[in-house]
């Protein structure tokens, strides 16, 4: 199984739906350690993304993800918009001209996207950010790719890793973003951005599995 253009469009649409469904949950998480807007930001961004994609015609994965990234950059303020925007833009460069992605090309693209987030936000592991969910997910994808795993199995392991990474943010003290202003008081709450990363990856997997 590969992830083709139609599959990607369907997955992005499903991600928009998931983020809409979890808007209040993400905002609640952000109200504990931030400014209570993460759910609103992500929902607004992906609403615009869905509008943009439904109006376009796409023949390669790069073009789809470029539009996702550009739309997030231009429609979502705060930290998450530029960070997720960069993630999808950097992925789009790796997938330019490709009509379908297999485990290895998706792993490479996500690794590139993660590098973009780190270059922009300078977060390290255990700073209590989306990087804590995305890094283990990328590692799992790369490992699966090295083992010749099929895409669905590879994504299963990436989603499990992202979930563990997300859950592991709870006891951490935030060292980046608005949550870091709270110092020790940021401990005991799950990071909103790590949670949206997990939701995005798990929805990609669910959507892909529905297609087969």
Ligand X SMILES: Nc1ncnc2c1ncn2[C@@H]1O[C@H](COP(=O)(O)OP(=O)(O)OP(=O)(O)O)[C@@H](O)[C@H]1O
Selected from 3, 101, 106, 130, the binder of ligand X by CB under 6 A is: 130
Closest CA to 82 of 168, 189, 177, 16: 177
Q: Binding marks (x or -) toward ligand X, 18..57, rule CB under 6 A? A: ------------x---xx-xx--x----------------
Number of residue whose CB is nearest ligand X? 193
State the number of binding residues for ligand X (CB under 6 A): 25
Beta-carbon contacts of residue 79 (< 8 Å; ≥ 6 apart): 121, 177, 178, 193
- Least Cβ distance, residue 70 to ligand X (angstroms): 18
- Answer yes or no: are the C-beta atoms of 22 and 38 closer than 8 Å: no
Query: Which residue in the block uniquely carries the two structure tokens 């998931």?
Result: 18
Burial string for 63-91 (b: 16+ CB within 10 Å, else e) reads bbbbbbbbbbbebbebbbbbbbbbbbbbb
* Nearest to ligand X of 7, 136 (CB atom): 136
Binding mask 71-110 for ligand X (x = CB under 6 A): -------xxx--x---------------------------
**What residues make contact with ligand X under the rule CB under 6 A?**
30, 34-35, 37-38, 41, 78-80, 83, 117, 121-123, 129-131, 176-179, 191-194
């Amino acid at each position: 199984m590969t992830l083709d253009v139609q599959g990607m469009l369907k997955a992005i649409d499903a991600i928009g739906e998931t983020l809409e469904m979890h808007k209040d949950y993400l905002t609640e998480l952000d109200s504990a350690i931030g400014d209570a807007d993460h759910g609103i930001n992500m929902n607004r961004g992906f609403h615009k993304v869905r509008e943009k994609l439904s109006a376009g015609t796409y023949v390669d994965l790069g073009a789809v993800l470029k539009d996702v990234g550009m739309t997030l950059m231009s429609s979502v303020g705060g930290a998450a918009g530029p960070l997720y925007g960069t993630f999808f833009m950097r992925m789009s460069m790796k997938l330019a001209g490709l009509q379908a992605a297999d485990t290895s090309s998706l792993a490479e693209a996500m690794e590139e996207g993660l590098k973009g987030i780190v270059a922009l936000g300078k977060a390290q592991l255990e700073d209590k950010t989306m990087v804590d969910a995305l890094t283990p997910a990328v590692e799992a994808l790369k490992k699966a790719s090295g083992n010749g795993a099929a895409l669905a199995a590879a994504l299963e392991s990436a989603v499990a890793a992202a979930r563990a990474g997300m859950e592991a943010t709870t006891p951490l003290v935030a060292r980046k973003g608005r949550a870091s202003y709270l110092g020790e008081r940021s401990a005991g709450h799950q990071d909103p951005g790590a949670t949206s990363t997990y939701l995005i990856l798990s929805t990609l997997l669910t959507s892909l599995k529905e297609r087969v």
